[in-house]
Amino acid sequence: MLRLQRRLITLRPTTSSANLKSGQAMNVIKSVLPYLWPKSRKDIQFRVVLAMLALVLGEILGLLAPYFYGVSVDALAPGADEDQTIFMLTAGALGMVVAYGVMRILSVGFSQLRDVIFAQVGQRALRQLALETFRHMHRLSLRYHITRKTGGLSRVMERGVKGVEFLLRFMLFSIGPLILKLLIVAGIFYLEFGFIYMAIVLITIVLYIWFTFSVTEWRVKVRKEMNDKDTDANQKAIDSLLNFETVKYFGAEEREALRYDESMRGYEAAALKTSYSLAFLNFGQTLLITGGLITVMILAAMAVQRGELSVGDFVMANAYMIQITMPLGFLGTVYREIRQALVDMGEMFDLLGQPQEVIDVANAEDLNIKGGQIEFDNVTFGYDPERTILSKLSLKIKKGETVAIVGPSGSGKSTIGRLLFRFYDVNSGSLKIDGQDIRNVTQASVHNSIGIVPQDTVLFNDTIGYNIAYGRDGASEDEIIAAAKSAKIHDFIISLTDGYNTTVGERGLKLSGGEKQRVGIARTLLKNPPILVLDEATSALDTETERNIQDSLRGLGSGRSVITIAHRLSTVVDADQIIVLEQGCIVEKGTHDELLNLNGRYTKMWHIQESEAELAV
């Protein structure tokens, strides 16, 4: 078992989250682009262009504000212009102040307009991506889902979609405007104040960005550790709660708590490291930016003293520096969020890129059912290459026949059903329905033709009615009730206060094993497929209910091919053929009477069960 588990772990795909190469980042961005610039949607493309226009306008207007601010200071300064009257000066200064205000309002107005215009593009992309990932998760094989933790998978999707949102918001509305702003401000400093000012601004920004990115790079690793620990603790908690009953059976509350605390301890340590490193980052950033700001201010102050610059220029320089430091302050967060978003999106695109194991061949046609003859021809199969579960199994079920499979637990009975449904492909040999290899027809048509009542029925966390109706899309109320009656569960359902509207709890846990099994039978009765697989479908029922349902199942089975996997041999005595399976091989085959005459395995099992039945009476 331990060996098996270890193998399952290695089967799990490795995610690229530990290290994000720039190439990968580019790939991720390339993967998102089609969602933002959909070829077939001119209206969306138009919106993107409009949003970009609003972005540029907003930035330019925003940068005009400090200019008017500086000019109004100069207009107000004593002796600003000897030729003008006091009235003209004041009117000019007021005009400049009003212009300053108008610029600010317009700038904010345009950036809000940009958000409003772009929102629909972003939300649509998110929805598309989420849907595609969701569909893909259902396309992946059972093997993949068994080896992945479901909670982990939905988190990958959730984080990935959130990542796209972050990336859009920060890339377009934070980094984009920031770069534009830095370039324009550098230009203004060059034109208004001279080369040296521009050089100081640029050097400060370059140093600042370098420092922020390197520290953040290191912090991303710390945060990744924190994330992992968080996921780990979360999964332990979910798993533990799913096993609520088991935990109680073994009095393991304390053990579970310790296990959980162990994960939380790791999270605590990682979270502390995260906040310490943030303090370091913040302080370093302030040091650099204030250094640059003060240098520019000192130069400007000296120039004002020398009479080369006006007081208004001094104020303007300060206003521009403040304008660029504000968005720079968020750069660390922005960089980290973008990086995190890229990692999360990378994981989601990995999931999207996860190849399907069982795929339809090109131009596969639908299965053409002519009666439902099933043929296993020399089938060999193992879940893992090292361990063969079925070896050279040949089995023919003529149309309308009922074949029973009996044998010890673990002999491969349920595996036969899974192969027929094509949850897995056989390793060698072939599996045909009405002469057509199931690998050559569409999976959807195979799935449509086969009804399986599984060993353990799992239900949706919804009403009983919903769960039965699941058997066939669009089934009428009468049909649902008829199916419930045949599965002998109708009387139970109407005895509940809410009847068919009773909720069944997560995975159907509010129902007993037998009740769940009958819901499972009812929905398969509703599906009404030409081929039926009953995998110990009545094992959780008492003998009397089982006998009653057997009648319905027999009715359902008439005229179709049925594989019935049985636990209680008394339920299969009238099968057309009984197969005794042991360690993946057919050891005996025949009708009930033939097998009893053989005096072999089947006879032995029969006698054991008979004496048990006698004891029970």
Ligand X SMILES: Nc1ncnc2c1ncn2[C@@H]1O[C@H](COP(=O)(O)OP(=O)(O)O)[C@@H](O)[C@H]1O
Whole-number minimum distance, CB 383 to ligand X, in Å?
A: 3
Whole-number minimum distance, CB 409 to ligand X, in Å?
A: 4
616-to-541, 543, 604, 611 alpha-carbon distances in Å: 15, 11, 19, 9
Whole-number minimum distance, CB 455 to Mg ion, in Å?
A: 5
Whole-number minimum distance, CB 517 to Mg ion, in Å?
A: 14
| Three-state helix/strand/coil letters over 59-93 | HHHHHHHHHHHHHHHHHHCCCCCCCCCHHHHHHHH
Whole-number minimum distance, CB 566 to ligand X, in Å?
A: 11
Taken as a whole, the chain contains a residue count of: 617
Please name the residue that has the structure tokens 């190469």. 21
Catalog residues that contact ligand X under the rule CB under 6 A: 146, 383-384, 389, 409-415
Residue 467 near residue 487, CB atoms below 8 Å: no
Residue 114 identity? R
- Partner that binds at residue 253, options Mg ion, ligand X, none, CB closer than 5 to 8 Å by kind: none
CB nearer ligand X, residue 216 or residue 571? 571
Residue 533 pairs with which residues in a beta bridge?
452, 563
Please name the residue that has the structure tokens 């199931």. 438
Tokens standing for residue 284: 């370093």
Q: What is the three-class DSSP state of 530?
A: coil
Tokens standing for residue 601: 């395995």
H helix intervals, 396-476: 413-420, 443-449, 464-469
Q: Give the β-pairing of 390-397 and 436-437.
A: unpaired
Q: What is the three-class DSSP state of 473?
A: coil
Whole-number minimum distance, CB 407 to Mg ion, in Å?
A: 10
Sheet containing 561-565: give its strands across: 450-453, 531-535, 561-565, 402-406, 577-582, 585-590
- Partner that binds at residue 389, options ligand X, Mg ion, none, CB closer than 5 to 8 Å by kind: ligand X
Q: Which residues, 6 or more positions from 254, have their beta carbon under 8 angstroms from its beta carbon?
A: none
User: How is 346-392 classified by DSSP, letter by letter?
Assistant: HHHHHHHHSPPSS-PPTTPBPP--SS--EEEEEEEE-SBTTB-SEEE
CB nearer Mg ion, residue 325 or residue 455? 455
CB nearer ligand X, residue 289 or residue 572? 572
Return the C-alpha torsion angle 65, 212, 168, 57, nearest 10: 20
Catalog residues that contact Mg ion under the rule CB under 5 A: 414, 455
CB nearer Mg ion, residue 455 or residue 524? 455
CA 450 to centroid of chain Cα atoms:
29
Please name the residue that has the structure tokens 């849907």. 131
CB nearer ligand X, residue 24 or residue 388? 388
CB nearer ligand X, residue 85 or residue 409? 409
CB nearer ligand X, residue 111 or residue 415? 415
CB nearer Mg ion, residue 127 or residue 387? 387
Q: Cβ of 602: how many Cβ atoms within 10 Å?
A: 24
CA 556 to centroid of chain Cα atoms:
39
Whole-number minimum distance, CB 136 to ligand X, in Å?
A: 20
End-to-end alpha-carbon separation of the chain, Å? 38
Q: DSSP code of 223?
A: H
- Partner that binds at residue 412, options ligand X, Mg ion, none, CB closer than 5 to 8 Å by kind: ligand X
CB nearer ligand X, residue 314 or residue 423? 423
- Partner that binds at residue 239, options ligand X, Mg ion, none, CB closer than 5 to 8 Å by kind: none
Residue 415 identity? T
CB nearer ligand X, residue 411 or residue 524? 411
CB nearer Mg ion, residue 17 or residue 609? 609
Residue 427 near residue 381, CB atoms below 8 Å: yes
